[in-house]
Structures are given as structure tokens and as C-alpha cells.
Structure 1
Amino acid sequence: MALTGGRPQPRAGASGKDHGPYGRGHAHPSCSASITPAAAEPLRHGRVLRGITPFPPRSRWPHSNKPARLRSLWYQWPAVSASECILNEESHVHILTTGIAGFIGSRVTEMLLEQGYQVCGVDNMCAAYDLRLKEYRLAKLRGREGLDFYQADIADRDAISAVWRESGPFDAVINLAARAGVRQSVENPWVYVEANMTGTLNLLELCRHSGVRKFVLASTSSLYGGDNPVPFSEDAETSRPLSPYAASKKGAEALCFTYHHLYDIDVTVFRYFTVYGPAGRPDMSLFRFVQWIHEERPLRLYGDGTQSRDFTYVDDVARGTILGLKPVGYEIINLGGDSPHDLLELIGLVEREAGKKGKIERHPMHSADVMATWADVSKARRLLDWRPEVSLEEGVALLSAWYLENRQWAKDIDTAD
């Protein structure tokens, strides 16, 4: 794979014709005729579904007779700026992206497809929160040329291996599948270890045995805990995580370094800071505040509201994640808004958009929460030429507009702890 200013071309054999919602295969049952999650058929957990025809067998690759050629081309990447991180027209770039029905994963997948990459998308469609949000995100991907979709769990070694055999080989893996959430992890730590550590290990093992040279991991700012000075540098102390969620992500980061050291897999680890935006996670404060204020429900505020967060718009995070496909060796990189805001200020922004006042109901701050987060993004600027572009005011307006457009069903999304 050589990096130039060109763009990746469609896979060999792709006709470019419209073969239905997911290409040549059958429409995914979660996608209805329009983007209306309420009308979508529920999915059974653990079922593997194919989207378009699988990646052509290795013997049918006209430009690359053996996967080894792809592996050797890795070492021919010239030194280029991150803004040129697009693969050239001779490459047929196939990326395994996990968690594509998730908030960040769906937006990353959209951007990859827009840039001409071929994507094998995986999601287990777990009901950690209302599946209508995941179905909505998947519906936005329907009909996109170059997408395979499989319902499978990365923590299930047999299931993800079956996807790998059928749709591979791959040039890179972007692992965005995870169980997220600080407070929930305290109640059920086992599922976090299974998804975030075992799932990552399964993917790294598949990369190791099939020669995939690039791995991107989604991690979290929760690792920085409550004792580090702000803004948080990637070199800050992270050996004392305050929640099982943070601990599981620390374990995933450690596994990535081990596989980089032992097997020379190039790894970019991103620590995301409080990602928000349209169709976001309903356990996050911004989704909750928008829903609660618009529907005039009690607004549960944990702590006194002076705790601050470095809110980061989802498009900025997705853009940075794709830039992470460039070769870096092994690097941990913060992606954050670089402008922390306290929760009371955030509530005020939502109130102004809604034209309503929130009915604040105060609760004690959770012991796993921290008072402040703030990303030092100088490393992302230096290595990836990345910087956040969407201000919190703009992002809140976009989220509020999305909520009003989808209020008929979004108002019923469960936002409980």
C-alpha cells in the first residue's frame, strides 16, 4: 500500500451497479425503506449476516496475486503529511471496521466509504442501549457501494474468525467495538473485560496470523483519572484507572503494544474525550440534557455542575480516526475538543437552543467520575495535522436540530443510568 495524494479505487470486480440496500446481498433486516428505526425488524444477537458479495478470493485478485504483496508494500510508504493519508489508485484498500452500528463507528464508516475505501463492517448489535439508535445509524449506511456488513461479536473468536475467512484479507483494522460507560462498568465489569480486552486480543491474533500490518484502537480519556494535571498529556500517569471500563481499555492498550513489540504491527491508539453529536449515545450527558430539557423532564445533575468535560464533536473524532491509518509505529494520541466546559454551561447552551429551562434535580457525584477532563492535542496536530473544527455551540445546535427532526422516537429513548 503506497501513500500518495490519490484515492483508492473500487475493488476488482465491483460493477458499481445498484444491487439493493447492501449491494449484491440481501438488505440488512434492521434497515427499513426509510430511516425510521421504529419500523425496523429486531436483530437476533450473535447471528452473522452478510451484506454484499464477499471480498473476491485471493486467486481472483488481478492486481495482487498474493496477500504477501500487500504486506510488502507497507514498507514502501513514503514520508507524507497526514492530510495525504489516502491510498493510491493501484491499491484496493480493504478495512475491517468493528462497531459500525455504534456512534463513532458509523460515522467513521461513512467517511471511509466517502473516501473510496472498501469496508467490512462488524457489529454485534448488543442491546446495551436502545437498538433503535443502532438501527438508525445502520440505515444511513444502506446502499453504500463498497460495504459488507456482518453481525458478529469480536469477543466470540469463532464468529469473528468466520467473518475474517469469508471477507478478508484486510489491509487494516479499525477497532471501534467496545462496551463503554464508566458507571455501568462498576455494575457489570465482566462484560467490559470480555468486549474490550478479549475482543481486542482476538483481532490482534487474527492480524498477527494473516499479516495485517495496521491496527487502530479506540481508547478513552477515562484512563487519566482524577489526579493528573490538565490538560492531559499522553504521557500522563494512567496506571490507576478508577473504573472497570477504564481498566479494560488500559488492558487493550497494553495488548496492542505487546503485539507491536512482538509482531511489528503498526498501532495507533486514540483516547477520545467526551464524544457527542447527532444519534449519539443516550448515556452521555449531552444526549440526556437535550432530551430532558425538550421534554420538560427532571434533569439529573450529578455533583454541583462545576465539573468540566472536553466535549468533542463526532465528525472531528471520525476524521482523526481515519488519519490514524498512517504508519506511526506505536503511538497513543488524544482526540479532544481542546476547550473544556462545565456542566452548568452546557445546560445553559441546551436551554438556549430549546427555548426552555431545565428542571435540575441534584444527585451526589459518582465515585468513578472525575472533576475535569481536558485533552492536550498537540501530538495529534504534530503527527496527524489534526485539530478540532466544530465548536461546542455549533455541535449543540446540530444535536438539537437532529433531536427535533427525530423527536417522534428519540423522545422515548431510555436515558436512565
Structure 2
Amino acid sequence: MTDGMGTRMTDGTGTRMAERAADGAAERPALTALRRWYTAAWLLLGLIPSVIAVGNDSGPAKWASLVLVALALAYTATHRALIHPTGYLVALAAGLGVMAALPGGGAALLVVALPQFWFQTRGRRAAVLLSGCAAAATAAGSLLRDSPGNAVAALTGYAVSVLAGVLLHRLVADSEARATALAAELSLTQEQLADAHRRQGAADERERMAREIHDTLAQGFASIIVLAEAARTGLAGDPERTARQLRSIERTARENFAEARVLVGSAPHSGLTPGSVVPTLRRTLERFAQDTGVTVDAELPEDVDCDQQTRIALLRCTQESLANVRKHADASTVGVVLAQYPHAIELEITDDGRGFAVEESRGFGLDGMRKRLAELDGELTVTSSVGDGTRVLATFHTNGQA
């Protein structure tokens, strides 16, 4: 079906193009003939008065007029004159010489015609040569009419035109060279910019993957290590607690395995469904309390009105903060407060652990949280001091929009 449609479309397009080409071919001779007759009318209109004026003259003026008429008719009959500008310019040079030989002279026409020799030739040498021929013909015609002043004027105009033409050619050449250099520089800059964008994209992707691994797999492995150590310690004394810890190890390992498969497949995943952040936070806090024995005081609303990226960030910030409490704080109580305001959502996590010097912290987790919140136009504030516990406040600006 596709091939059939493609064939019909190609045939139809080819037919239309052929029809347009045929129409153009049919119109071209008519337009060419019309242009020739139009040009002939104007040439004859301009030449007839001069021919009449010298009709009774038996001198050179009569023959000059006849030659001029012949040149005009030859030019009119040559419908390919624009395709061969050299032939046209040769005829123009001869015509200027003949005009200069007419009564009253026509040397002034050379000044008007000189720009054509520069615009219709491709090389500077050809322009100088052909315009020189025109100047020589005009000077010769002026001398035939015994007008040396016109001959001098023609040669002077030619010299000025050569000087102006050479300067103009040089300016054009310099402009083209600058344009070529600028185009090459622009192309190089675009290539460098594209390469920089590719490198930056790769760096951003590496950073994103590192953050996701830290927020998922690394925290899961840290939990497994802590639970395994606790289970080994309590093997003989508290079998029930040990069994509970082993179940937590198994569950965490399965979750890590699922997260690893998601990361390898580069599919976005957080364990969240739209609108499910509060129940997920409750389960996370309950598991933390069961695994660590730390008392958790949570103040969570029924739901928060925000987009999915903000929900994921809320969960990741909670997981990272609890992981830091587990690994470093040695706390007995953790407080979690989630609140929504007209223009912001705030997540506050506090503990009564040993605290730390915030300015000396070089951990990846806090930097990762700051960058994650910054991408969502949010802010992370960490307050802590040695011996006084820690307060983490994540603020998400919503501007009154979900």
C-alpha cells in the first residue's frame, strides 16, 4: 500500500512538473518575441530622428547613422544577448563610437555606459579591456567629427572608471574575504558550542545518575549493612528481632534490585504513584523506626497538592535525611513535619543526635539534595552544631499552583 501510494504520488508530481515545464516552454518564445519587438520599437523611436537629420548629408554622419541603425537591429534580432554579455558589450562599444561620430557628438554617452562594462563582466581584466575599447571607439568617433575635447573627455572618463572599478573590486573582494572568514569562524564556534553542549549533557547525565544511585542503591546498601551487623549481634540473644531484621534486609535487597533494573533501563521511577507521597512517607518512617528502634514523631497531612517531581523530591529528601540519622546522628528521636502553605511546601526533619559542623560537611547527600531542590526552584536549609542535633528544612515554592 505504501509503495503504491508512493508510486502514485511520484507519478502525479512528475506529471505536474512536466506540465509546468511545457507551459513555460510554450510561453518562453512568445515572451522573447515580445521583448525583441519592444526593444526594437524604442530603438527605432530614438534613432529615426537622427537618421532623418542626416538623411540629406553625404558625409560620414550619414554612414555613421546607417551603421548605428544596423547595430540596433542586430542587437534587437539577437535574443540571446543577455546570455552572452561579451557580445553585447562589444556591440555597445561599437555603437558608442558611431554615436560619437554623429553631429553634436555622443561622447557623454560613454560616461553613462561605462558601469555596464564592470557589472556585466566577471573579471577585472575583461572590464578594463572592453571599457577601453569603448573609450577608444568614442575617442575615434570624436576625432572624426573634429572634436578633440570630446576625445579627451572620453579617455578621462575611462581612466576615472578604471580607478573606481579597481577600488570597487578590491572592496568587494575584501568584503567577500571577511564574510568567508566570519562564516568559517561562525561554523567553528557552532561546532565548539555543540561539542560543549554534548559534554555538558553527558556531565549532567552522569550527575543525575550519581544522585539517583546515591538516593536509592547506596542508601539501600547502607541499610543492609546496618541491619546485617545488628542481626549478627543479636543472633543468640533475640531471635525474633533478628528474624525481623533479616526480613528487612531481604526487602531492602529486593528494592535495590528493582531500582538497579530501573536505572539500567534509564526509566524514571520513584515508587510513587500520582498523589501518593504522604502514604509513601508514612511507610518509609515506619520502616525506619522498625529497623533502627528510633522514635519517630511525624506530623503529616492527608495529602499535599503538588506535581510529581516535587513528590519525588520530598521522598528523596526524607530518605536522605533518615539515612544520615541512621549513619551519623546516633539519635533517639526524629521529628518529621510536612506542611503546605499557599505559596510553598515545607518538609522539616529534626533529630536529637550528636550534630555536626555544617560548614565542614563535604558529603554528597546534602549537595545532591540542594541541587535537586534548586532544579525545582526550592531551597534546602541545614542547621546543626556539635551536640545539639540537626534540623533539615526543605522548601518548595509553588506560587499557589499545584
Structure 2 length normalisation: TM-score?
0.21
Larger radius of gyration: 2
Q: Is the helix fraction higher in 1 or 2?
A: 2
Q: TM-score, normalised by structure 1?
A: 0.20
Q: Using CA pairs below 8 Å that are at least 6 residues apart, which structure has the higher relative contact order?
A: 1
More strand by share: 1
